[in-house]
Structure 1
Amino acid sequence: MTRTVYVNGDYLPETEAKVSIFDRGFLMADGVYEVTSVLDGKLLDFAGHAKRLGRSLAELDMANPINTDDLLAVHRELVARNNIVDGLIYLQITRGNPGDRDFAFPDPAQTPSTIVLFTQSKPGLADNPMAKTGMRVISIDDIRWGRRDIKTVQLLYPSMGKMMAKKAGVDDAWLVEDGFVTEGTSNNAYIVTGGKIITRQLSSDILHGITRNAVLRFAAEAQMEVIERPFTVEEAKAADEAFVTSASAFVMPVVELDGVALGSGKPGPVATRLREIYLEESRKAAI
């Protein structure tokens, strides 16, 4: 079945959707994005994603072409038109098409932003078998730009990191700066030591994960101790367990780092319990 997508106010078959070659998202990676999960036909953490979208746009002084209510309506319409039960909705906003290539930003009054949304059907998204086996990761140097808190479409190095992991025969990579783990290629990173959850504090060093925020809130409600600080690769290797969080993976255990088994080498109780809590509570709150 041909997907229906959304481009600049219109719902179109994906085969008819077009964006200009002069769009700054294509020429300059001058754009931001969000990914919202869908479970049972409902949106998870939509309000958080919409809020972060607004922040990313503001940090880049980029115009927002759609208000939150209308954005929600577009999400719901795409879910309905594409019969999405479990899956993802990808949203991208760029600075638009000024008609030619130029490093200078165009006048937003003359060049409207480009907005694109499309769905990805992922049956059984919450039943990923990796949740029972755990992920294996390698560590790589973090050489991204310094504003990782802005969710831009500049994803070349994270893509390269995933390919480094694939070449190494593992599932993903953790990015390391000055000896400390920043985050995963597309997720926030955590270790558990002595029952305490440790994860890097919010700053421009990492993405302010929407799932991260929810999981830490659920952890606190479950009387789990959370410490927000950087941790080293060596500290991670000595941890009792580890995990990552993201909009599409939810809470995913990590069982190996650079060939070293973490804890028992199997998904740990903290990650397993947090995944259960997150899915249960998020489904209740889904809209």
Structure 2
Amino acid sequence: MSVYPIVLSQSKFIHRDSVKFPMQERALQFGDGIYEVIRIYNGDYYLLNEHIERLFRSAEAIKIQINLTKEALEEFLTLLLERNNIQEDGKLYLQISRGSAPRDHLFPTDVEPNFYAYIQNLPRNLEALKNGISTITHRDERWENCYIKSLNLLPNVLAKQEAKEQGRDEAILHRDGIVTECTAANVYLVKNNKIYTHPTTNRILNGCVRMRIEEFTKKLSLPFIEEAFTIEDIIDADEIFLSSSTAEITPITCVDEHKINNGQPGPITIKLQQAYEIDANIHQNSQQFA
């Protein structure tokens, strides 16, 4: 099964070999792939091992065989830092798809996975970290396997866009009123000095920063309770915050029209931010949350 030589692309009839994007890439046609985003501080990866472990778990879940060991992948990613002479803050994007093959829902045979990774500079969002962000609530319309970091992100994109069009920064997703997570972050509610967040199930992505936050709470003697909360619970919350590799630990100071903690970041959120900075070995602006 082959593609005929003349194709239509951007209102032009051209030879298939001249198309600027990979027409038969399964990531493009099916979203058949996985990815990771890894934070970089001062030229070093943060939580690299955790991200690689999750990448391999995602690959196993959708039956992609990664043709590298974890150790070899880590070595390649370290070399990528060195080849680009990275000294500043940034992020790495890494993607693996099932490969390129004639379009068919069935897995292709004898096809190598397509893999690439690149680095972008990404300064810390100190304004959001210090003053917090505003969010909307939005129905969670994603599939049932959100624990896989797959390329199927259209519901996330639409919810995030809806938030932007309403002048907000992020969307808190819920299933019939039960809060799951945000479009690109885990979300937490603080009440009576206890931290609540959705249990680690197939309905959320167990974030690498989320796992580290649980460790922080043990050191700070703060209860970390994996128990889902509701949209109604948000109204009475003492604090709300989110976490991700690029957002770190960001306070949420407004949800829909309701201000959280009078629109100010709360003390527990600030303690966790300070713990994060120490753990990530971030020296600059280390007193910004004091």
- Which residue, out of 195, 198, 201, partners 1:197? 195
TM-score, normalised relative to structure 2: 0.88
Quote the offset at 1:136 in angstroms. 0.4
Secondary structure, counterpart of 1:144 in structure 2: coil
Secondary structure, counterpart of 1:149 in structure 2: coil
* Residue in structure 1 matched with residue 16 of structure 2 by the alignment: none
Secondary structure, counterpart of 1:74 in structure 2: helix
* Residue in structure 1 matched with residue 113 of structure 2 by the alignment: 113
Secondary structure, counterpart of 2:144 in structure 1: coil
* Residue in structure 2 matched with residue 86 of structure 1 by the alignment: 89
TM-score, normalised relative to structure 1: 0.88
Taking the aligned partners of 1:237 and 1:53, their CA distance within structure 2 comes to 36
> Is 1:97 aligned to residue 100 of structure 2?
yes
Check conservation: 1:240, 1:264, Cα contact below 8 A: no
Check conservation: 2:137, 2:255, Cα contact below 8 A: yes
Check conservation: 2:41, 2:280, Cα contact below 8 A: no
* Residue in structure 2 matched with residue 3 of structure 1 by the alignment: none
Check conservation: 2:27, 2:97, Cα contact below 8 A: yes
Check conservation: 1:165, 1:172, Cα contact below 8 A: yes
Count residues in correspondence: 262
Check conservation: 1:90, 1:117, Cα contact below 8 A: yes
Taking the aligned partners of 1:184 and 1:101, their CA distance within structure 2 comes to 33
**Structure 2: unaligned runs, 5 residues or longer:** 1-19, 283-290
Check conservation: 1:65, 1:115, Cα contact below 8 A: no
Taking the aligned partners of 1:170 and 1:120, their CA distance within structure 2 comes to 25
- Write out per-residue CA displacement over residues 217-256 of structure 1, whole angstroms, 9 at most, x where no aligned residue: 1111110111111100110121001100101111010011
Larger Rg: 2
Quote the offset at 1:19 in angstroms. 6.5
- Write out per-residue CA displacement over residues 177-220 of structure 1, whole angstroms, 9 at most, x where no aligned residue: 02111000000000100000000110001001111000111111
RMSD: 1.3
Taking the aligned partners of 2:72 and 2:277, their CA distance within structure 1 comes to 26
> Counterpart amino acid of 2:85?
N
- Which residue, out of 34, 39, 57, partners 1:37? 39
CA 1:71–1:19 in structure 2 vs 1: closer, same or farther (change >3 Å)?
farther
* Residue in structure 2 matched with residue 251 of structure 1 by the alignment: 249
- Write out per-residue CA displacement over residues 241-279 of structure 1, whole angstroms, 9 at most, x where no aligned residue: 110010111101001111100122111111111011012
> Is 1:273 aligned to residue 271 of structure 2?
yes
Check conservation: 2:199, 2:227, Cα contact below 8 A: yes
**Structure 1: unaligned runs, 5 residues or longer:** 1-17
* Residue in structure 1 matched with residue 13 of structure 2 by the alignment: none
Quote the offset at 1:77 in angstroms. 2.0
Check conservation: 1:238, 1:263, Cα contact below 8 A: no
Secondary structure, counterpart of 2:118 in structure 1: strand
Taking the aligned partners of 1:281 and 1:19, their CA distance within structure 2 comes to 40
Secondary structure, counterpart of 2:262 in structure 1: coil
